[in-house]
Amino acid sequence: RRLQRHNVRSRLEDFASWQRRSLHLLDQDRPASVVPYIAELLDAGVRVLVYNGDRDLSCCAQGSEEALAGMEWNGREGWADPLVARRGLWIVKEPLCNDKRDGKEDCDGGESDAGGGGGGHTEVGGYAKSYQNLTFVVVYNSGHLVPTNRPRAALDLLSRFLKEESFADA
């Protein structure tokens, strides 16, 4: 009913006639790439971890992988050589939580596999690639919010990185 009133319709018509004054208003409104900054950190010897969920629709893992492959840094040749910097399976370590569901320890609902040599609980976290001070990890069964989607995997990921432990499990 309100939209049928004359004073409301006349106001709406004012909005319909609005035009942007400059066609170039948003030409420079583009996100800046962080890749040169990552390269600068790597060349300075700073350890860098880049991770993505394999189901992330905002920041896809393939895009991150391509950005890292094209990045100009001192380790570029080694990173590109599959014999030097191999991509390998990452297995999440023994769980670090006490959540029990149906009598079975399972913190994040991820696929689990009893066994793994020591008889403990293991699960595939994803895959990882490391060379020098750069580590790239893709977390399986996770979207954009890895700690929310896969908390145990996220904890293992950060623990390994901070403790400078390898992701090369297989």
The pLDDT tens digits for 77-107 are 999 999 999 899 999 986 555 444 444 445 5
Environment class of 87 (CB within 10 Å of its CB; exposed 0-12, middle 13-18, buried 19+): middle
Q: What is the pLDDT of residues 103-138, one digit of tens each?
A: 444 554 444 443 344 445 788 999 999 999 999 999
The Cα–Cα gap between 26 and 60 comes to: 25
* Overall fold of domain 39-162: Rossmann fold (3.40.50)
The Cα–Cα gap between 13 and 90 comes to: 60
Q: 54, 142 in Cβ contact below 8 A?
A: yes
- Domain ranges for the chain: 39-162
Identify which of 7-21, 85-99, 136-150 has the greatest average pLDDT: 136-150
Cα-atom radius of gyration of the chain, to the nearest Å? 24
